[in-house]
């Protein structure tokens, strides 16, 4: 029986995980058979022990190397794309040891913010169909900005966006794309700060499915330094600071949200401490931290020399952030685009980190994605059960390929995920057929996770196979489903769930998701309404149940096309 419906607003409080997996299976061609019926859980050890971290760390100078790209200047409300692109750039540069001497500009990559903003909010069309990424069955899925634009062709750049959606974008195999990529002898992804039609991008596979500059590996929704209690009051969360520091030390790009309309900004020292109770209104990239940054550097003084009440945080320490306003002028001084933000800032929320593969260690240069979840959601609903429950997607291979990775979404920290892969399954029974591999992964944080399989499995065009997930936290079994609603930017959104794609196993039988769509929509509405009521960093919005949409289970199978 159903135990409880849990609320998680991972679009506004973001995460992913240090991952540990133990798998059993066989590698090879079409005759692969499972070599074990069970697998032992294994948790990856923490790579950065907080107690052993240095008092100061800066990605601009790691053992004399700079892993941060130059400061850019946004024009519209697309700060989130700059934070995300910057995080992806630093994570990729670090993973591939592409640092330049500290003090020099690192311009080896330049991921496109324009690409992120445009394709995030333009859903799939028939012209986007491409084998190994977008199926014809998913055409129409995603956001439609036409109604919200009302003559303004730049809507995607004004509305802002939560970081979790951009993790979805990369996780679906769309981007990051380098601004230097040419399509039809043009460079469409270059950021243009002029209000012109050059900001628009074509909505078709040739442009949307441009060559990917970096292979996405993981997104991690981190605890935040600022926490809000049940009464709406701020309190400091050391765990959030420690998590950000640990991720930075591992070379993972970290984004955070904060309030940029800050009367407590000390321009002379580029030091910011916000002690108000407003919501976040800006997204930035964190590049480092300094435990010893004096709290007094945040203080503002009156004309009589006395300190402004509330302008001094309770302790030392600051995150070093890269802003997206270019080289800005405050108090008559031109700064370098970097700001120190107090650990105790009341608006340090929505922390998220990103991990990308080391290109030299990647098993394959090309990726095909069998996937049905292309809605680019900002929300994940969960339903918890006290009896065995499983989620599954059934795919038909679109070409001859070699299955070697899985990707899925967890919606809460400390999740344990058991995966099973079956080949030659029945159309309505994901656990029928031949078991190819079974394994267990543990995830410290919520997020989108790409895992390497123990073996590689040959699939022929047309083969029916399944990916089955059992997700547990504590003693509960959990179903995770994506949903979205029109309130985000005023844009219509559509999720497409077809019969024979996603299934839930409960009470000893499999049920097609299409048979449960109404109940899931009702759950999504209730969870969103409750979450909006209880979360400070989400604006007050009147919800309309009719505008909600759900999508297939966030389960993807990643393959290499034959010979690639």
Q: What is the pLDDT of residues 402-440, one digit of tens each?
A: 999 999 999 999 999 999 999 999 999 999 999 999 999
Residues 6+ apart with CB under 8 A from 150: none
CA distance linking residue 540 with residue 257, whole number of Å? 18
Q: With 50 as the cut, is the pLDDT of residue 12 above it?
A: no
Q: What is the mean pLDDT of the chain?
A: 86
CA distance linking residue 189 with residue 187, whole number of Å? 6
Mean per-residue pLDDT for 545-553?
Answer: 93
Q: Taking the CA atoms of 530, 531, 535 and 541 in sequence, report the sign of the dihedral they define.
A: negative
Q: With 60 as the cut, is the pLDDT of residue 273 above it?
A: yes
Range scoring the smallest mean pLDDT among 171-175, 326-330, 352-356, 532-536? 532-536
Q: With 80 as the cut, is the pLDDT of residue 16 above it?
A: no
Instruction: Give the residue extent of every domain in the chain.
Output: 2-45+365-561, 76-218, 220-356
Residue 23 pLDDT = 56
Q: What is the pLDDT of residues 463-496, one digit of tens each?
A: 999 999 999 998 899 999 999 988 666 788 999 9
> Residue 423 pairs with which residues in a beta bridge?
434, 465
Q: How confident is the model at residue 277 (pLDDT cuts 50, 70, 90)?
A: confident
Q: What is the pLDDT of residues 310-323, one digit of tens each?
A: 889 999 999 999 99
Residue 421 pLDDT = 98
Residue 232 pLDDT = 80
Q: How confident is the model at residue 528 (pLDDT cuts 50, 70, 90)?
A: confident
DSSP state of 325: B
Mean per-residue pLDDT for 29-54?
Answer: 50
Whole-angstrom distance between the N-terminal and C-terminal Cα of the chain? 46
Residues 6+ apart with CB under 8 A from 477: 384, 385, 386, 387, 388, 389, 390, 470, 471
Quick check: helix, strand or coil at residue 84?
helix
Residue 266 pLDDT = 76
Q: With 90 as the cut, is the pLDDT of residue 518 above it?
A: yes
Q: With 60 as the cut, is the pLDDT of residue 43 above it?
A: no
Mean per-residue pLDDT for 167-182?
Answer: 94
Q: What is the pLDDT of residues 229-262, one digit of tens each?
A: 878 889 999 999 999 999 999 999 899 999 988 7
Residue 192 pLDDT = 67
Q: With 80 as the cut, is the pLDDT of residue 294 above it?
A: yes
CA atoms within 13 A on the CB side of 137: 16
Q: Percent of the chain having pLDDT more than 90?
A: 64
When comparing pLDDT for 24 and 286, which is higher?
A: 286
Q: Which of 481, 229, 114, 171 is nearest to 354 (CA)?
A: 171
CA distance linking residue 443 with residue 449, whole number of Å? 9
Full-model pTM: 0.89
Residue 563 pLDDT = 66
């Amino acid at each position: 029986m159903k135990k409880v419906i849990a609320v998680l607003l991972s679009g506004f409080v973001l995460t992913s995980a240090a991952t540990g997996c133990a798998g059993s299976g066989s590698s090879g061609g079409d005759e692969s058979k499972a070599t074990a019926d069970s697998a032992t859980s294994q948790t990856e050890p923490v790579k950065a022990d907080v107690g052993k971290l240095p008092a100061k760390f800066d990605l601009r100078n790691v053992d004399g190397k700079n892993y941060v790209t130059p400061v850019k200047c946004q024009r519209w409300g697309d700060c989130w794309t700059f934070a995300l692109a910057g995080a992806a750039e630093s994570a990729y540069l670090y993973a591939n040891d592409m640092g330049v001497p500290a003090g020099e500009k690192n311009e080896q990559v330049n991921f496109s913010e324009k690409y992120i903003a445009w394709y995030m909010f333009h859903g799939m069309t028939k012209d986007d169909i491409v084998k190994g990424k977008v199926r014809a069955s998913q055409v129409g899925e995603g956001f439609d900005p036409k109604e919200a634009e009302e003559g303004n062709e730049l809507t995607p750049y004004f509305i802002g966006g939560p970081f979790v959606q951009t993790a979805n974008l990369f996780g679906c195999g769309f981007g990051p794309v380098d601004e230097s990529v040419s399509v039809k002898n043009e460079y469409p992804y270059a950021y243009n700060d002029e209000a012109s039609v050059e900001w628009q991008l074509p909505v078709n596979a040739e442009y949307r499915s441009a060559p990917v500059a970096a292979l996405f590996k993981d997104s991690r929704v981190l605890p935040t330094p600022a926490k809000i209690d049940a009464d709406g009051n701020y309190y400091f969360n050391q765990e959030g600071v420690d998590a950000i520091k640990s991720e930075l030390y591992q070379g993972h790009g970290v984004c955070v949200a904060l309030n940029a309309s800050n009367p407590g900004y000390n321009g002379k020292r580029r030091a910011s401490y916000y002690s108000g109770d407003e919501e976040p209104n800006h997204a930035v990239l964190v590049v480092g931290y300094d435990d010893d940054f004096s709290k007094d550097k945040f203080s503002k003084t009156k004309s009589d020399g006395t300190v402004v009440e509330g302008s001094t945080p309770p302790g030392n320490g600051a995150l070093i952030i890269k802003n997206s306003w270019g080289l800005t002028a405050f108090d008559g001084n031109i700064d370098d685009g970097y700001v120190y933000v107090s650990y105790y800032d009341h608006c340090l929320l929505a922390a998220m980190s990103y991990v990308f593969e080391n290109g030299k260690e990647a098993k394959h240069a090309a990726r095909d994605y069998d996937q049905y979840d292309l809605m680019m959601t900002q929300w994940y609903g969960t339903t918890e059960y006290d009896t065995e429950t499983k989620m599954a997607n059934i795919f038909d291979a679109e070409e001859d390929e070699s299955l070697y990775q899985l990707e899925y979404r967890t919606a809460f920290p400390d999740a344990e995920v058991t995966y099973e892969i079956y080949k030659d399954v029945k159309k309505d029974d994901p656990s029928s057929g031949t078991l190819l591999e079974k394994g267990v992964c543990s995830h410290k944080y919520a997020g989108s996770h790409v895992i390497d399989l123990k073996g590689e499995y040959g699939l022929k065009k047309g083969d029916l196979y399944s990916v089955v997930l059992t997700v547990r936290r504590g003693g509960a079994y959990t179903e995770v489903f994506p949903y979205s609603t029109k309130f985000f930017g005023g844009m219509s959104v559509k999720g497409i769930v077809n019969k024979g794609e996603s299934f839930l196993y409960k009470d000893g039988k499999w049920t097609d998701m299409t048979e449960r769509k109404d109940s899931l929509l009702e759950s999504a509405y209730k969870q969103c309404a409750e979450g909006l009521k209880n979360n400070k960093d989400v604006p007050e919005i009147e919800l309309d149940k009719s505008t909600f949409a759900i999508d297939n289970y966030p389960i993807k199978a990643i393959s290499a096309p034959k010979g690639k």
